[in-house]
Amino acid sequence: MKSYIAKNIVNILLYISLAFFVWYLYSLDYFILSELKINYYYLSLSLFLMFFGFFLTAVSWWFILKQHGIEIGIKKSIISHGLYVFTKYIPGKVWVILGRAGAVSKYSGVSINELGVISLKEQFVYVIWGLIFGLVPVIVIFGFGLYAVIVVLTITGLLLLFFSKPIHRLGILILSKLFRKPIDIPYINLKTATKVSGFIILYWLSWSVGFYFLLFSVFEDAPILSAFSFPLGVSFGVLVLFLPGGIGVRESIITGFLVSIGVTLEMAITISVLQRLWFICGEVFIFVLSLVLRSFKGSSPQ
Query: What is the reported pLDDT for 4?
Result: 39
Over residues 101-117, mean pLDDT: 84
- Tell me the range of 36-45, 59-68, 234-243 where mean pLDDT is highest: 59-68
Query: What is the reported pLDDT for 25?
Result: 53
CB within 8 Å of 111: residues ≥ 6 apart: 105
Residue 94 has pLDDT above 60, yes or no: yes
**pLDDT category of residue 273 using cuts at 50, 70 and 90:** confident
Q: Which residue has the higher pLDDT, 170 or 30?
A: 170
Among 100, 13, 111, 43, residue whose Cα is nearest residue 281: 43
CB within 8 Å of 39: residues ≥ 6 apart: 216, 217, 218, 220
CB within 8 Å of 15: residues ≥ 6 apart: none
Residue 232 has pLDDT above 60, yes or no: yes
Q: How many CA atoms lie within 13 A of 17 on its CB side?
A: 27
Roughly what angle, to the nearest 10 degrees, separates helices 165-179 and 146-163? Answer: 100
Classify residue 203: in a domain, yes or no.
Answer: yes
Residue 207 has pLDDT above 60, yes or no: yes
Classify residue 138: in a domain, yes or no.
Answer: yes
CA 213 vs CA 101, 150, 221: distances in Å: 33, 28, 11
Q: Which residue has the higher pLDDT, 295 or 200?
A: 200
Q: Which residue has the higher pLDDT, 157 or 175?
A: 157
Question: Measured on CA atoms in the order 179, 163, 252, 233, is the torsion positive or negative?
Answer: negative
Q: Per-residue pLDDT tens for 119-133?
A: 889 989 999 999 999
Give the global pTM: 0.83
Query: What is the reported pLDDT for 53?
Result: 96
Classify residue 290: in a domain, yes or no.
Answer: yes
Classify residue 89: in a domain, yes or no.
Answer: yes
**pLDDT category of residue 1 using cuts at 50, 70 and 90:** very low
Classify residue 224: in a domain, yes or no.
Answer: yes
Q: Which domain holds residue 183?
A: 50-295
Query: What is the reported pLDDT for 3?
Result: 47
User: How far apart, in whole angstroms, are the C-alpha atoms of residue 212 and residue 46?
Assistant: 8
Over residues 6-21, mean pLDDT: 54
Over residues 95-121, mean pLDDT: 82
32 within 8 A of 52, measured Cβ to Cβ: no
- Tell me the range of 137-141, 157-161, 169-173, 198-202 where mean pLDDT is highest: 198-202
User: How far apart, in whole angstroms, are the C-alpha atoms of residue 13 and residue 106?
Assistant: 14
Classify residue 162: in a domain, yes or no.
Answer: yes
Number of domains in the chain: 1
Q: Among the listed ranges 24-28, 63-67, 86-90, which one has the minimum average pLDDT value? A: 24-28
CA dihedral 272, 27, 284, 65 (to 10 degrees): 80
